C-alpha cells in the first residue's frame, strides 16, 4: 500500500475516465505489473509537482514505465479524449450545453523599442 497524494484519483473520478484506459491483453501474455490507475496517478503527480520523471517517489511505478506509458497515451490522444469527456460532464452537471458555444482567446502584446531595420543595429567599432 502506498502513501496517498493530493493528485490521486478518487474511485468516482477513476470510474468516469477508466473506459479510456481499458486494454485488451494478448492471449498467453503476462499481466501488467502496475494498474493503469497507478500509472495515471504518477503522471498527475509529475504534472502537478513539476518534478522530473526520474524523481518520482519510490512508491509510484518505475519512472521509465510511467514515462513510456505517458508517451503512448499522448500519441493515442487519450488525454484529449479524457479532457473532452470531463468537460462534457462538468458542463452537463451545471445545466449547460455539452458543447461550448463560444471561446475566449487571450493574447498579450509586448511593447518593443519601436526601432527596427538595419539602422537599429549598432556598428562594431575597431
Which has the higher per-residue pLDDT, 110 or 55? 55
Grid coordinates representing 46?
509529475
Q: Is residue 47 one of the residues assigned to a domain?
A: yes
Q: Is residue 124 one of the residues assigned to a domain?
A: no
Q: Is residue 35 one of the residues assigned to a domain?
A: yes
Q: Is residue 121 one of the residues assigned to a domain?
A: no
| CA dihedral (48, 93, 10, 63) positive or negative | negative
Q: Is residue 45 one of the residues assigned to a domain?
A: yes
Q: How many folded domains does the chain comprise?
A: 1
Q: Is residue 36 one of the residues assigned to a domain?
A: yes
pLDDT at 107: 73
Answer yes or no: is pLDDT of 20 > 70: yes
pLDDT at 80: 92
**Domain encompassing residue 43:** 11-22+31-93
Q: What average pLDDT does the segment 97-110 reach?
A: 77
Q: Is residue 68 one of the residues assigned to a domain?
A: yes
pLDDT at 58: 93
Q: Is residue 43 one of the residues assigned to a domain?
A: yes
Grid coordinates representing 67?
514515462
Left, alpha or beta for 34 (phi > 0: left; psi -120 to 50: alpha)?
beta
Amino acid at each position: 500500500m502506498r502513501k496517498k497524494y493530493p493528485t490521486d484519483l478518487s474511485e468516482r473520478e477513476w470510474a468516469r475516465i477508466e473506459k479510456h484506459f481499458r486494454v485488451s491483453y494478448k492471449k498467453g501474455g503476462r499481466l501488467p505489473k502496475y494498474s493503469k490507475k497507478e500509472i495515471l496517478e504518477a503522471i498527475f503527480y509529475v504534472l502537478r509537482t513539476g518534478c522530473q520523471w526520474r524523481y518520482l517517489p519510490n512508491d509510484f511505478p518505475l519512472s521509465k514505465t510511467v514515462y513510456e506509458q505517458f508517451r503512448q497515451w499522448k500519441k493515442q490522444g487519450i488525454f484529449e479524449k479524457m479532457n473532452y469527456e470531463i468537460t462534457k460532464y462538468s458542463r452537463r452537471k451545471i445545466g449547460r450545453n455539452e458543447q461550448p458555444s463560444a471561446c475566449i482567446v487571450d493574447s498579450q502584446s509586448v511593447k518593443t523599442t519601436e526601432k527596427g531595420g538595419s539602422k537599429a543595429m549598432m556598428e562594431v567599432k575597431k
